[in-house]
Structure 1
Amino acid sequence: MYPPEPWHLRGQMYLSIFLIPRRDLPELPPVLAAAVRPVTAGGRVAVGAAWVSYEPGGVLHYKELLSAVLVHERGRPRVSITDIWVDSVASREGGRNLWGIPKELAAFTLDAENEPLVDATITAPEAAEPFASALVRLRRRLPGRFPLGFTVAQALGGQVRRTPVRGRSGLRAADVAWRPEPGGPLGHLAGHRPVLSLAITDFWLVFGRSAEERARSRERTTR
């Protein structure tokens, strides 16, 4: 089983933004591709890739690696997750069934014991070698805490599922050396360097809507 939405989550995220040629992007599911368009600049699309450690204090604690595309829906910005792995069955099942997030299981190393260095690897089940790794070097901490807010758009049950995410976090500058295997599931990132990397520190997130919020949303769409 998995917790009902919304999920209240806490932890650390190491995020990089890449600009990838549109032709190299993974395809979106047809129902989603009919509703959203990638945000492009000079034929390139913004792709975010992040290692995440969800820590005790939230409804679940587990590790995650994801890749997501910045898209828009009639001008409204959205984030669509194309590839994602977790080391929690509850997270996998909840992500798939609640929001249409295509989570798969994997084994992780996410070692932050030697700060300012964070060493990350991910290995597919029954594989001998990692299909991606990264070395994060944390740098200057920005003063204060910052709001987080975006909408995730995924395909679920033949429809587009739009899920709000909001929260707050600290921020640190970071350098991230990514090492995805060219023939692996994140091969579209191979050979590209991030244009921006950040550590999103000590965050708290609310992922999804309460039952009351979902009821109000249904009322608005039926008017």
Structure 2
Amino acid sequence: MTPYPDEPWHLAGQMYLSLWPVPRADLPPVAVGTRPVTVAGRGLAGAAWVVYENDSVLHYGELLRAVLVRDGGRPRVCITDIWVDSPASMAGGRALWGIPKEMAVFEAERTDVASFAAKSDDGPLAAARFEERGRLPGRLPLSYRIVQTLDGRTRTSRVRSRASVRAARAAWTVPSDGRLADLGRRAPLISLTLRDFTLSFGG
């Protein structure tokens, strides 16, 4: 078995995030015992490219999709699809928290306009370009909980983060027959970059 760090994982790096309102019928399955939060028949889905670097316990790239859900009366985030380029991250994410990580290959160019692409053994997953538009003052704190299915039961994990947040304009390209196809049917509602974030996951 591939070794991986014990929780909590202390991570740092850069995140490029977009959010979409998605018709309930197009939302992917979520964790056992939860249901998507919907308004007027639409839920909220997010997709992000993440580069874990600097003081991270592991260094790797990541592409994920997540859905805002309700666990009883509590809002949570459920990661429904996720790819990484680190066997240790994949093994740890699955074993510790029930995060369904798979392997992929990433290309990234982080200049004034950041561009990303990812492909798995099944073919291209997605590509995106992010152009920053303006910075919010300070470093904003954020605390929330991830909910996943682990060994047939609900597994909830705490996330605490702080980052410099910047508004961005993003364009995503997604294969029409791929797992993330619904994200390519409409422009994102909002896009952000979380620069030089620090994050504590689990524990």
Correspondences of 1:98-113 after superposition (within 5 Å): 98-112=96-110
What TM-score comes out, normalization by structure 2 length? 0.96
Q: Secondary structure at the match of 1:96?
A: helix
Tell me if structure 1 keeps the 8 A contact 2:30–2:36. Answer: no
Aligned residue in 2 for 1:47 = 45
Aligned residue in 2 for 1:205 = 199
- The CA distance in 1 between the partners of 2:95 and 2:187, in whole Å, is 34
Greater fraction of residues in helix: 1
Offset, 1:137: 0.5
Q: Secondary structure at the match of 2:30?
A: coil
Q: Secondary structure at the match of 1:132?
A: strand
- The CA distance in 1 between the partners of 2:48 and 2:42, in whole Å, is 19
Offset, 1:126: 6.5
Aligned residue in 1 for 2:182 = 188
- The CA distance in 1 between the partners of 2:142 and 2:84, in whole Å, is 22
Following TM superposition, the consecutive aligned residue runs of length 4 or more in structure 1 with deviations greater than 6 angstroms are: none
- The CA distance in 2 between the partners of 1:145 and 1:42, in whole Å, is 33
- The CA distance in 2 between the partners of 1:158 and 1:145, in whole Å, is 37
Greater fraction of residues in strand: 2
- The CA distance in 1 between the partners of 2:198 and 2:54, in whole Å, is 11
Kindly report the root-mean-square deviation, in angstroms, between the aligned alpha carbons of the 2 structures.
1.1
Partner AA of 2:18 in structure 1: S
Pick one of 2, 7, 10 that aligns with 2:9: 7
What TM-score comes out, normalization by structure 1 length? 0.88
Offset, 1:58: 1.1
Tell me if structure 2 keeps the 8 A contact 1:20–1:192. Answer: no
Offset, 1:60: 0.4
Offset, 1:37: 1.6
Correspondences of 1:3-152 after superposition (within 5 Å): 3-28=5-30, 32=32, 35-112=33-110, 114-115=111-112, 117-125=113-121, 127=123, 130-152=124-146
Tell me if structure 1 keeps the 8 A contact 2:139–2:162. Answer: yes
Percent identity between matched residues is 51
Where structure 1 has 5 or more consecutive residues not aligned to the other structure, the ranges are: 210-223
Larger radius of gyration: 1
- The CA distance in 2 between the partners of 1:65 and 1:146, in whole Å, is 22
- The CA distance in 2 between the partners of 1:175 and 1:40, in whole Å, is 25
- The CA distance in 2 between the partners of 1:201 and 1:28, in whole Å, is 28
